[in-house]
A and B are shown apart, each in its own frame.
Chain A
Amino acid sequence: MAGADRLKAAIGQTASAAKSPTAPVIVEGGVPLIFEESSPGRRGVDLNGGAASAKHAIDLLGSKLCRTDIDGFPELSEPQVLRHFLRLSQLNFGQALQLYPLGSCTMKYNPVLNDEMAALPGFANLHPHTPPHLAQGALELIARMEAALAEITGMDAVSLAPAAGAQGELAGLLMIRAWEEKRGRVRRKVIIPDTAHGTNPASCTLAGFEVVVAPSGPRGYLEAAEIRRLLSDEVAALMVTNPNTLGMFEPEIQQIAAVLHERGAMLYLDGANMNALLGVAKPGDMGADIVHLNLHKTFSTPHGGGGPGAGPVAVKQHLEPFLPHPRIVKRGEQWDFDRDRPDSIGRLRSFHGNFGMLVRAYTYILAMGGDGLAQASRHAILNAAYVRKRLEEHFPTATREPTMHECVLTHDLDQRTGVSTLDIAKRLLDFGVHPPTIYFPLVVHGALMIEPTETESLETLESFIGTMERIYDEAIQEPAMVKSAPHSLKLRRIDEVTAARRPVLRWTKR
């Protein structure tokens, strides 16, 4: 785009607005797209030995193999690029800056040291094909991390390979399948409660299992009697999150495990809510055969705007032979990869997992220690219980049962004044608070799922509580104002419906 066009874009018009099927692009207050800031001939990097033409390389390859241009690619100077992204960063909320009580996501403080340790040259510059004897420090870290997670979960063996919780789920389910096949059995059903995260049923489909939905009991938890009723010789496992997505510890989990094991089925525990359980109850002791963890939740690795995370999967001994590659083994004093694993479900991805996230989580575990981890869960539970108690008048929980590290609140504002949960969430933005998870779990009307985490202070919680109370009053006195929130940000409410109806998924030259 030429300079004059850029100027027009900046003041709210585009050169081709008349031809455009949509309204003119207004970037006032926003940041132009990197492509709109581009000017032919600018560069943001100088290569060793200075600029060079590609001619020699094209001669070497033959022009038939080569492209002539990368159509539309941006051209900016280094300071322009930095400014572009720093300005973008200012349009984000982040846990380091705001309360971010997103339920089931465990947005706790991400210690700064974690990132610094991952960036140590001995880790950052380590090529995945480095011969193991020259990467003993990395393999030792993997071994220690496996041992720590086994201890924390009460399980026997851990694989750090899965890139995310959903991949950990896939690994766990494929292990169940492999175990079944090894015994010449074909069980193709998995029971999942109606409150489960969406990844659970989606992972089941990918692993070739059919989902049987278990309704929660009237008090919000799973009853052993109901599981017994749903069990058959076709059921391979129950997949359950504990604490469940209502924030409740499943009180009958041990009886459920026993019922499952009696019928030759397994207990898969989704460890998404492990931040409630550190030093409180171990999945292994509950009778779990498999549990996966999310290092980006409980173990403080940054969420990164939606990843990368890591989703280690831990198993009891009978499933150890089926764990995914790679596995490490100590031979004498040296760690090495164990390639002789005939029963393994195979690889989930290339190389050795999201190693950089393992370094961060290990740094966190060392900093916290066994005592600190136990304190973390207790304070996470304390914070959630406090918010629940203080908000109960206007935002009661859906259940009267005790809750753990998060609570799911409901309200009657939609019937009284037409203010919805979404409106409340958007109004929270005006007060510099990231909203809780909303409308999940589906079984709670207008759900607000709040997980403060242990790293938020009493002052921050009080401020949040005050804000929620204020919004409640506003919803009664000025519902229209709440319904049109946010008001204080650079953008007003964003139209997500049109985005889906007429998808524009990339920039194109006008």
Chain B
Amino acid sequence: MRFIPHTEADVAAMLQTIGVAELDDLIAHVPENLRTSAAIKIDNGRAEAEVATELATLAARNPGATGFTSFLGGGYYRHYVPAVVRAITARAEFSTSYTPYQPEVSQGTTQAIFEFQTLIAQLTALDVANASMYDGASAAAEAILMAHRVLPKRHVIAISRALWPDYRATIRTYLSALDTLELVDLPFDFATGETDYAALEGLATDELLCTVTGYPNAFGVIESLGKIAELAHRAGALAISVTAEPLALGLLKPPGELGIDIAVGEGQSFGMPLQFGGPGLGFIAGRTAQVRQMPGRLVGETRDSEGRRAFCLTLATREQHIRRERATSNICTNHSLCALAATAYLSLMGRQGLRELAARNVELAHGARAALETAGIRRRFSGQCFNEFVVAIDAPKAALAAAEQRGMLAGLSLSSDYPELGGALLISVTEMNTEAEIKRLCGVLTGGR
């Protein structure tokens, strides 16, 4: 086996040193009945060329990945990944290292994380961000738990129904064992697609722990975060924003500027491939005063014994390996290599590039929305959008099937998650789409003119 270096002579010499006759003597203390039934009935190992062929065959059976013009979004977004990002994350010094427990030989990882924390803090206009979480949905759940540590006496969590269904489901799972917490769904306004802020006013009591709102939300609509934060704060509660398309923060007012206390989201848009939905990364940013309630890893600046700047994991007393059952979270790892991809991506995009890319997405999406309206396909909501929006369509299933026949994934039907909307299609337009594709989309959705 090519990954295992020992020759027969090596094994013999090692066994002799240890003082046993054969390899299986080393496991003789494992109960015999367990050893007898332990054989793994999987085909024998194969040459690299055979493995590569097998995987290529499987990959080729995903025509949805390569053969279609796509307008799919809804939580994961199609963006170009610059070659430099891959070149950096492919470095074995980064990819084959582990948690930087020994900072002296992990400055690459720790400094990159410190830069990541800074970039996320700048993007959200909040004080501090952690080293990353698993994904946007679990980060949203962790944000609620963090809010509860800040305000332990409160128990009502107001979650917008216009938050992505996957995110709401994840939050329900994470909170399912914590009997004292109560999840309340905030309805959305059928005209604007924004959260129904009036409904929140009814909940603004001293029991309210936090509000949770998408920014933009599951309909692509840009919520009035400032209004939500104000209502939450008036009740003494915290306001949490959740962003699945972080590119939006390149142009939209940042959550911190709008009064949001904890901003979380998904980072996949920043240099990670779609990869059927993972791995991406979760981000979480908040206020300095609450940093000790934050989950997950944090890197801080320090010095070496000769005064040179260095970086290391810090505030570990919040974490499971120290605090055990009283930790702020059970999270152990972060998504470090994904955070590195995001750091490289944002460094490349930079101050101007990110803003321009966000602007390009807005122009294309708004152009597509207008073109569809001209073609007779009504937008479902009046609320302002970033790079995705909902259109009303009578039979979304049939429309999507017809589009597929013409080589297009025209969007995501919301009918099963939001039956109250009737036929509704979420259409996402990014810099990966061209004007010509948008024109074709109009044709396809209006019945193939």
Say yes or no for A332: interface residue by CB 8 A criterion. no
- Complex interface: chain B residues within 8 A of A304 (CB): 94-95, 97, 335-338, 340
Contact residue among B55, B108, B276, B359 (Cβ-Cβ distance under 8 Å from A57): B359
Least CB separation from A111: chain B residue: B3
CB neighbours (8 Å) of A11 from chain B are none
**B92's contact among A76, A97, A169, A345, by CB below 8 Å, is which?**
A97
Does A17 reach chain B (CB closer than 8 Å)? no
Cβ proximity bits B86-119 to A, threshold 8 Å, 1 near / 0 not: 1110111111111111111111110110110111
Q: Are B362 and A57 in contact (CB under 8 A)?
A: yes
Contact of A81 among B59, B166, B312, B344 (CB under 8 A): B344
Is A4 interfacial (CB 8 A cutoff)?
no
Of all A-B residue pairs in the complex, the 4 with the closest CB atoms, nearest first, are: A351-B277, A122-B59, A137-B61, A128-B277
What are 20 inter-chain pairs, A to B, with CB distance below 8 A?
A33-B111, A45-B353, A70-B351, A71-B125, A92-B97, A122-B56, A163-B278, A198-B327, A199-B320, A207-B177, A251-B31, A280-B30, A285-B33, A303-B97, A347-B173, A437-B101, A455-B4, A457-B6, A490-B107, A494-B310
Interface segment out of the listed A223-231, A364-372, A473-481: A364-372
Contacts of A122 in B (CB 8 A): 56, 58-62, 65-66
Partner of A350, one of B104, B166, B303: B166
Query: Of the 9-residue stretches A258-266, A312-320, A382-390, A410-418, which lies at the interface with chain B?
Result: A382-390
A404 to B29, CA, bound (A): 10
- Give Cα distance in the complex from A495 to B312, angstroms: 9
Categorize the interface residue count of chain B: 35 or more
Question: What's the dominant secondary structure at chain A's contact region?
Answer: loop
- Name the residue of chain B whose CB is nearest to the CB of A426: B104
A95–B99 Cα gap in the complex (Å)? 12
| B222 interface hit (Cβ, 8 Å) | yes
Q: Which of A34-83 contact B (CB under 8 A)?
A: 34-35, 38, 42-45, 47-48, 51-54, 56-58, 60-62, 65-67, 69-76, 78, 81-82
Is the C-beta of B398 less than 8 angstroms from some C-beta in chain A?
A: no
For residue B5, CB closer than 8 A to chain A, the reply is: yes
Are A382 and B23 neighbours in the complex by a CB distance under 8 Å?
A: yes
The answer to the question of A28 belonging to the interface, with a C-beta cut-off of 8 Å to chain B, is yes
Within residues 249 to 276 of chain B, which ones have a CB less than 8 A from any CB in chain A? Answer: 250-254, 257, 266, 273-276
Q: Check B48 for interface membership: any CB of A closer than 8 A.
A: yes
Query: Which of the residues A42, A346, A434, A457 comes within 8 Å of B102, measured between beta carbons?
Result: A434
A493 touches B304 (CB 8 A): yes
**What A residues does B353 contact at CB under 8 A?**
43-45, 47
B residues within 8 A CB of A164?
Answer: 134, 331-333
Least distance between B352 CB and chain A CB atoms (Å): 6
- Interface mask (B1-44 → A, CB under 8 Å = 1, otherwise 0): 10111100011011101110001101101110111011111111
Partner of B314, one of A373, A390, A496: A496
**A369 and B93 within 8 A (CB):** no
Interfacial chain B residues near A458, Cβ < 8 Å: 5-6, 10, 13-14
Residues of A within 8 A of B320 (CB): 166, 198-199, 201-202
Query: Would you call A281 and B35 a contact (CB within 8 A)?
Result: yes
- Residues in B with CB closer than 8 Å to A386 are 14, 17-18
Is the CB–CB distance between A356 and B52 below 8 Å? Answer: no
| CB of B136 closer than 8 Å to a CB of A | yes
> A298 to B108, alpha carbons, bound, how many Å?
25
Interface residue? A130 (CB, 8 A): yes
Supposing A166-B320, A350-B266 touch, asked if A489 and B104 sit within 8 A by C-beta, the answer is yes
Bound-state Cα–Cα, A127 to B388, Å: 15
Residues of B near A425 (CB, < 8 A) are: 102
Taking a contact as CB atoms under 8 Å apart, the answer to whether B61 and A136 are in contact is yes
A125: chain B residues within 8 A (beta carbon): 65-66, 273-274
Q: Give Cα A503 to B326, complex, Å.
A: 21
Whether the Cβ atoms of B31 and A75 lie closer than 8 Å is: no
A306 to B88, CA, bound (A): 16
| Residue numbers in A under 8 Å from B297 (CB-CB) | 306
Q: Which residues of A contact B302 (CB under 8 A)?
A: 494-496, 498-499, 504
Q: Is A506 located at the chain interface by the 8 A CB criterion? A: yes
A-B contacts besides A350-B164, A506-B117, 7 pairs, CB < 8 Å: A57-B359, A164-B331, A375-B4, A390-B17, A425-B102, A495-B305, A505-B299
CB neighbours of B61 from chain A (8 A): 122, 136-137, 140
Q: For the complex, is A113 an interface residue (Cβ under 8 Å from B)?
A: yes
Q: Which residues on A sit within 8 Å (CB–CB) of B333?
A: 164-166, 306-309
